[in-house]
């Protein structure tokens, strides 16, 4: 164990976060996200039993968001005609605002199939046990300036 590191972050996940460079993307997928098929060219980390919000909060304590793009955080858009509420997105915005002064302005949306195509190019995908629908989030790493 290490001091100051959220306990939810496994050694494998910490290594991946440290390896990632500026512009690399990390997907935190909900329990329905096809992590293994999307992550054929990525590192897939299993975090079954954990929710996206708790992982997002822990990761953003260590992971700077890219300041060179308008939306370093992207959510999967709800498919038109899908009658689904997404209250988890408000939770994400609150978590992001704790860790990035730009707050909700960092968050964009990507159409479902475009999100899948971008996920295939991610450095890593975290598979969670999150049961909320449309709870997938993609983060783009920024530069550590401290």
The domain total for the chain is: 1
CATH of the domain at 31: 3.40.1650.10
Asked if the structure places residue 8 within a domain, the reply is no
Asked if the structure places residue 102 within a domain, the reply is yes
What's the domain range around 80? Answer: 22-140
Asked if the structure places residue 7 within a domain, the reply is no
Q: What string of DSSP letters covers 4-52?
A: TS-TTS-HHHHHHHHH--TT-EEEEE-TTS-HHHHTTTSEEEEETT--H
**pLDDT (tens digit per residue) in 4-62:** 999 999 999 999 999 999 999 999 999 999 999 999 999 999 999 999 999 999 999 99
Q: How many other C-beta atoms lie within 10 A of the C-beta of residue 48? A: 9
22 is catalytic: yes
Instruction: Tell me which of 24, 71, 99, 116 is the catalytic residue.
Output: 116
Instruction: Tell me which of 22, 68, 82, 90 is the catalytic residue.
Output: 22
66 is catalytic: yes
Asked if the structure places residue 135 within a domain, the reply is yes
Asked if the structure places residue 11 within a domain, the reply is no
* pLDDT given for residue 107 in this prediction: 98
pLDDT at position 72 over 80: yes
Asked if the structure places residue 77 within a domain, the reply is yes
Which H/E stretch holds residue 134?
none
**pLDDT (tens digit per residue) in 95-114:** 999 999 999 999 999 999 99
Instruction: Tell me which of 50, 66, 92, 100 is the catalytic residue.
Output: 66
């Amino acid at each position: 164990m290490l001091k100051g590191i959220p306990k939810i972050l496994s050694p494998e996940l910490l290594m991946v976060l440290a390896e990632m460079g500026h512009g690399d993307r990390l997907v935190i997928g909900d329990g329905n996200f096809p992590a293994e098929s999307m992550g054929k060219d990525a590192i897939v980390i299993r975090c079954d039993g954990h929710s996206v919000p708790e992982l997002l909060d822990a990761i953003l304590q260590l992971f700077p968001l890219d300041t060179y793009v308008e939306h370093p955080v992207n959510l999967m858009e709800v498919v038109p005609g899908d009658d689904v509420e997404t209250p988890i997105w408000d939770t994400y915005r609150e978590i992001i605002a704790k860790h990035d002064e730009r707050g909700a302005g960092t968050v964009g949306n990507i159409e479902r199939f475009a999100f899948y195509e971008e996920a295939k190019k991610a450095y890593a995908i975290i598979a969670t046990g999150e049961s909320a629908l449309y709870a997938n989030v993609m983060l783009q790493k920024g530069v550590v300036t401290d």
